[in-house]
Amino acid sequence: MMSPTQQLPPILDTAAAGPLAIFLRARLEEEGALILDASTVSQLGQACLQVLLSARRDALARGRSFTIVDPSEPFRALATMVGAGQLCAEVVA
């Protein structure tokens, strides 16, 4: 079963962390892979990065795949800078 790709919002700042966590928790309750498109992310804060890392850990613990598709340069730069490059490791071209 192919899971639909979900588009991340362009601004993932501190204010977006709560809604992002709620969205990801709901998606983790569904079947299939969790695929997030980060191509339009222009701002990524540490709070949202922590939410994404937590969701990835939870997905993998449940035996589910968690993939960030097409990470934008700002997304990739912050993830790499803080040692969270694994979020960008499974890029689907």
Instruction: Give tens-digit pLDDT for 34-85.
Output: 999 999 999 999 999 999 999 999 999 999 999 998 999 999 998 888 888 7
CA distance 91 to 29: 23
CA distance 23 to 6: 10
Note the pLDDT of residue 90: 52
Domains of the chain, CATH where assigned: 6-88 (3.30.750.24)
Note the pLDDT of residue 86: 77
pLDDT for 92 beyond 50:
no
With tokens 């689907």, the residue in question is 92
**For 1-15, how does the pLDDT look when each residue is reduced to its tens digit (9 = 90+)?**
456 889 999 999 999
